[in-house]
Amino acid sequence: MGAVEKPRTEVAAPASWDYAPAPEAREIVSFERRYGLFIGGKQVSPKSRTWFSTISPSTEEPLAEVAQAGQKDVALAVDAARDAFRTWSRRKPAERAKVLFRIARVLQERARELAVAESLDGGKPIKESRDVDLPLAAAHFFYYAGWADKLEYAFPGRSPKPLGVAAQIVPWNFPLLMLSWKIAPALACGNTVVLKPAETTPLTALLFADVCRQAEVPPGVVNIVTGDGATGAYLVREKDIDKVAFTGSTEVGKAIQRELAGRDVSLTLELGGKAANIVFDDCALDQAVEGIVNGIYFNQGHVCCAGSRLLVQESIHDQLVRKLKRRMATLRVGDPLDKNTDVGAINSSAQLERISELVQSGVEEGAELYQPPCRLPEKGWWFAPTVFTNVAQSHRIAREEIFGPVLSVLTFRTPDEAVEKANNTMYGLSAGVWTEKGSRILWMADRLRSGVVWGNTFNRFDPSSPFGGYKESGFGREGGRHGLEPYLRFE
Amino acid sequence: MSESLVTHSPGGYAPALFRRSIADALEMDHGVDAVAAEERAASLAKRSLKKDAKVWGLKLAISMIDLTTLEGKDTPGKVHALCQKAMRPEPLDPEVPHVAAVCVYPTMVPFVKQALKGSAVSVAAVATGFPSGQTFTDIKVQETRATVAAGADEIDMVIDRGAFLSGRIGQVYDEVVAVKEACGDAHLKVILETGELGTYDAVRRASLVAIAGGADFIKTSTGKGSPAATLPVTLCMLEAIRDVHDETGLVVGMKSAGGIRTAKEAIQYLCVLHETLGVDWLTPDRFRFGASSLLNDLLLQLRKQRTGIYRSPDEFTLD
Amino acid sequence: MTDRLPVRKTYKLFVGGAFPRSESGRTLEVEGHNVARASRKDARDAVVAARKAVAGWSGATAYNRGQVLYRLAETMETRTDALAAASSGRREVARAIDRVVWYAGWADKLAQVLGSSNPVAGPYFNFTLPEPTGVVAVIAPDEPPLDGLVSRLVPALVGGNAVVAIASDSHPLAAIELAEAVATSDVPAGVVNVLTGLRSELAPVLAGHMDVNAIDVTGADGDRAALEELAAENVKRVVRAKEDQSPWEIASFMELKTVWHPIGR
């Protein structure tokens, strides 16, 4: 047989096989120049007469002005909620259910618009806000709508009744989704709410107010008060609230718990974490790498349950780290509105500083830093995906929550050692276990002191699945049948 | 660690003489989580190519096609027309490249060789009791030799799935070795028929065994069964190729065949390829599409990109 | 305007997502209209359609099933007038629609109320999950004309079953109007099938059919004993309404599967 070399007609390649920008159309959402507070079903100017700008962290451009709610504003909101509670709690549960179903439907109908707003205001990639945040937000309302008229089945033998007015404070990492986690169960149980979105991400909450208008939510059932930490403090100090639900930093959570000491206010907290992602040598290797990447780089690592500590079995450390670094090099950091972006902007300059400081400490304490080559945009706040190897348990980067795209790699030898290291923290929100051996996943799950254990997966959420922490990661559960309990009292 | 003879010229597809033991191959075997693999493939499928990259991708995809006809009713006439289309898919546009190869049954090889004379399109043929592989090993080897003698540049063989599924991996390996030997200078693609293997774990194992036995390319399917090629199965096979390459430097190509009908899908495969193995693999020397109707959709999309108007299938010849 | 002749509806069967006439070509005059009179062969075809649809419907996520049933409530709401005309009126229709909404909300909660994690005395993880039984035959009660059928149909659907329903002898129009609401919703073809005709002819066929997993005899009245005897041939689950509306009505159409797995290093 002759030589098989055949001269081919070459197809001339472009300079690089690059995904050309694929921007989601920004025009789908339009913001008001200025938003008031949403109280009693209306937009109202703040009595404080103070406003501030909300900025797009990927471009540093101001998006809109929002109100800084003062003490009087917060009091008015609570009054409106109390007023509305009288009728809302007495409404037929099946009718309350229908209101919530409507909210779910409107969220689905306006999903794209809200996803773009979320990415602009918060910095997360459109791929995530479109495929994760919005669908889950709608799903939470669907799920809890169905419980509104079935509470007697959720708590057999007990007579559940609503608590009253719930004060709810949500963070900036999943603004609309966290709002859904708070509002859906609260309303389903017959409560009314005053919700304070995070200072840097108020816009989707304010758009949610418009969703409430479309769904014909009765005035005062949902109230939105924007502002910074001071607004949150006023809200928690209000006398006429029956419940506080807070998701945010452990530090603020403790402050709230102190504030409520001695008061008759029900409290749930969802705080920080320093989750261990535990990888055994018999794992499905390539999928474990995906899971590690998802665990810490999804949402720029701004996730309370992020897998920020990789505990890898020593026997496969080198091989895994090699694969991980190669995979990190394919992560695309950039414009949140670009559909090809994997990692978006850091939410604020303050957060960027915190991340940088901790990363610096990692270097100083002797860990080895790696970042794939990454061209970061000129404007905006960005941090390249980062991994530290040679990390010791005592390093700050292994103990403190960084809340950024920074992974610390540690090793272990046996399952017992993995459990010990994973539990050796004041946090206890989540953990991941990677092994093809089913019994070991269950054995680990049994012993891990965390509220969520992901086996061969990570960062999975569902409205029917209860979520919450052990220890200083907080108490109370959101999602599932158990997520109803914090919003009810039982005679 | 592995007894290997690597003779391989990068860029071309001169056949590699490479063999490892099964033990070495299986050392790289590990589980594949189906849920996560399918999710990864799905997220890669969402990559969006615009403008220049897309036009390039469409042309690249055309250049990667093994234009195929494998019917009982194939005739010299049918095969001749297919070869014309293979050499000049779009007579009105000289920028549109020719396809990589024409793929037929053994008895059609002489007619293909004649029709493609002087062109850069390769002559590919199936052999080894395609598509079932349920015949005797010496018959498979004989068929391979005869097909190469008739003029085939490339042989697409099938593995013995019955042997694989009943635990006789050694038999599968031995057949690949024997057929590779019978190929001489022709290059060998080994079809795993992934739709019959049942799990991604099995696909990975079969990939490693086929590569160890000397495959120049591993291929998903015969196209005669269902499911044929899928993105996750392709991803799984590419990961096996990548792991072998990392360990030994060997370059093995990938062919996704069967069920890929639209340009959109073809681009998705290229994205999976690009993100798993990098830009070096974006060449017909290392990746092929086993397809027939895909070609017209690629031509249609190319014309749409150029003119900005949605086209009609009527505008493109059937062969 | 008064000269205008209305275009009258033809009332056919609802099988596999389509509206065929009876293969027998027979009709009955009921409620002022000719209504298809289903034969045993139609019943057989309906069971085939249902069986084909079960895998997809039971394999859908619970969330998806809940959304699909909610959408059925949407399409019923739009058809309120037509449904009211075929039943006792708007009040009954409102009740039937609200019932669909109520049951839709159960889809993604069933496992939490009907299932359990069981604390066995040993190092094993043990859980029990409800699963749909498969193809369910439903004999629609005569009263109320619409809500009677809905109250037996929807609990079977929520958990992932496919249904072949025999419409009431006296109120077939309500059943077909409902079928039209089903056909324009997102309920996949074959998940709901409706046969009009004579209950006395059709019920025994379904009761004895070896590929039907359960039969709801709430609407059976006098012939119940005979049907129950036929059902024994393949150990069919025989179901009768116990409450007006409850997750336990859904449970009657569900199996329970218990799984064990060791917990160990």
Per residue, what are the HEC states of chain A?
Answer: CCCCCCCCCCCCCCCCCCCCCCECCHHHCCCCCEECEEECCEEECCCCCCEEEEECCCCCCEEEEEECCCHHHHHHHHHHHHHHHHHHCCCCHHHHHHHHHHHHHHHHHCHHHHHHHHHHHHCCCHHHHHHHHHHHHHHHHHHHHHHCCCHHHHCCCCCEEECCEEEEECCCCCHHHHHHHHHHHHHHCCCEEEEECCCCCCHHHHHHHHHHHHHCCCCCCEEECCCCHHHHHHHHHCCCCCEEEEECCHHHHHHHHHHCCCCCCEEEEECCCCCEEEECCCCCHHHHHHHHHHHHHHHHHCCCCCCCEEEEEHHHHHHHHHHHHHHHCCCCECCCCECCCCECCCCCHHHHHHHHHHHHHHHHCCCEEECCCCCCCCCCCCCCCEEEECCCCCCHHHHCCCCCCEEEEEEECCHHHHHHHHHCCCCCCEEEEECCCHHHHHHHHHHCCCCEEEECCCCCCCCCCCECCCHHHEECCECCHHHHHHHEEEC
C16 found inside a domain: no
Q: How far is CA C91 from CA B183, C81, C103, C147, in A?
A: 79, 11, 18, 10
Q: Identify the chains in contact with B, defined as 3+ C-beta pairs within 8 A.
A: A
Range of the domain at C233: 27-262
What's residue C108's pLDDT? 97
Nearest to A4 among B185, B274, B275 (CB): B185
* pLDDT value of position C89: 97
Residue A127 has pLDDT above 80, yes or no: yes
B311 touches chain A (CB under 8 A): no
pLDDT class for A104, splitting at 50, 70, 90? very high
- A145 CB neighbours in chain C (<8 A) are 105
Average pLDDT over residues A453-459: 97
The answer to whether the CB atoms of B185 and A8 lie below 8 A apart is no
C20 in any annotated domain? no
Q: What is the mean pLDDT of each run of 10 residues along chain B (319 residues)?
A: 36 48 90 97 89 90 97 97 96 91 98 97 97 97 98 98 96 97 97 97 97 97 95 98 94 97 96 94 97 94 89 84
Mean pLDDT calculated for residue range A45-61: 96
* CB-based contact B247:B218 (threshold 8 Å): no
From chain B, pick out residues whose CB is under 8 angstroms from the CB of A295.
none
**Would C4 be classed as within a structural domain?**
no
Active-site position among B156, B160, B216, B285? B156
Active site residues of A: 270, 304
Residue C14 lies inside a defined structural domain of this protein: no
Query: What integer is the mean pLDDT of A297-319?
Result: 96
Active-site residue (options: B66, B255, B285, B297): B255
pLDDT digits (tens, 9 = 90+) for C180-236: 999 999 999 999 999 999 999 999 999 999 999 999 999 998 889 999 999 999 999
Q: Which chains touch C (3 or more CB pairs under 8 A)?
A: A
Contact residues of C toward A, CB < 8 A: 62-63, 66-67, 70, 98, 101-102, 104-109, 111-113, 125, 247, 261-265
Q: Chain A 339-398, CB below 8 Å of chain B: which residues?
A: 339-340
Chain A: closest CA distance from residue B216 (Å): 13
- CB proximity B171 to A under 8 Å: no
Amino acid at B266: A
Are chains B and C in touch, 3+ Cβ pairs below 8 Å?
A: no
Question: Is the distance from CB of B230 to CB of B193 less than 8 angstroms?
Answer: no
Whether residue A21 has pLDDT greater than 90: no
pLDDT surpasses 60 at A3: no
Q: Which chains touch A (3 or more CB pairs under 8 A)?
A: B, C
Q: Is residue C172 part of a domain?
A: yes
Closest CA to B30 of C265, A443, A287: A287
In 3D space, the residue among C144, C137, C154, C179 whose CA is nearest the CA of residue C50 turns out to be: C137
Kindly identify which residue of chain B lies nearest to residue A340, measuring between CA atoms: B47
More confident residue, A231 or A159: A231
Distance from CA of A467 to the nearest CA of B (A): 21
For C135-144, what is the mean pLDDT? 97
Q: What is the pTM of this model?
A: 0.93
- Judged by a CB distance cut-off of 8 A, whether residue A483 touches chain C is no
pLDDT in tens, A195-253: 999 999 999 999 999 999 999 999 999 999 999 999 999 999 999 999 999 999 999 99
Look at residue C8 and tell me if it is in a domain: no
Residues 461-480 in A contacting C (C-alpha not used; CB under 8 Å): 463-464, 480
Q: Closest-CA residue in chain B for A289?
A: B36
**Percentage of chain A lying above the pLDDT 90 cut:** 93
Quote the pLDDT of residue B308: 87
Task: Name the nearest CA neighbour of A95 among A223, A217, A194.
Answer: A217
**Residues of A with CB below 8 A from C111's CB?**
464
- Tell me whether A11 touches chain B (CB under 8 Å): yes
Q: Do A439 and C262 touch (CB under 8 A)?
A: yes
- What pLDDT, on a 0 to 100 scale, did the predictor assign at position A174? 97
> Do B56 and A2 lie within an 8 Å CB cutoff?
no
Whether C contacts A, i.e. 3 or more CB pairs less than 8 A apart, is yes
**What pLDDT does residue B317 have?**
84
Instruction: State ipTM.
Output: 0.92
CA nearest to A98 within chain C = C101
> Looking at per-residue confidence, does B34 or A7 come out higher?
B34
**Active-site pick, B24, B140, B219, B285:** B219
- The answer to whether B52 contacts chain A (CB < 8 Å) is yes
Residues β-bridged to residue A195 = A168, A224
At B138-161, the pLDDT tens digits run 999 999 999 999 999 999 999 999
Question: Under an 8 A CB cutoff, do C113 and A481 touch?
Answer: yes
Q: Does B46 touch chain A (CB under 8 A)?
A: yes
pLDDT grade for A17, boundaries at 50, 70 and 90: low
Asked if the structure places residue C10 within a domain, the reply is no
Are C109 and A438 in contact (CB < 8 Å)?
no
pLDDT tens string C20-50 = 999 999 999 999 999 999 999 999 999 999 9
Annotated catalytic residue B156: yes
Counted domains in chain C: 1
Q: What is the pLDDT of residue C228?
A: 97
Token pair for residue B196?
A: 């019959």
pLDDT band for position A5 (cuts 50, 70, 90): very low
Angle at A220 between CA A216 and CA A222, to 5 degrees: 75
Separation in Å, CA of C230 to nearest CA in chain A: 35
Across C127-149, average pLDDT: 97
Provide the total of helices (H) and of strands (E) in chain B, helices listed first.
13, 8
CATH number of the CATH domain containing C62 = 3.40.605.10
How distant is the Cα of C125 from the closest Cα of chain A, in angstroms? Answer: 7
Cα of A454 to nearest chain C Cα, Å = 16
What average pLDDT does chain C have?
97
B187 in contact with A at a CB cutoff of 8 Å? yes
Q: Tell whether C12 is covered by a domain.
A: no
Tell me which residue of A60, A13, A50, A49 sits closest to A381, measured CA to CA: A60
Q: Which of C101, C247, C261 sits opposite A438 (nearest CB)?
A: C261
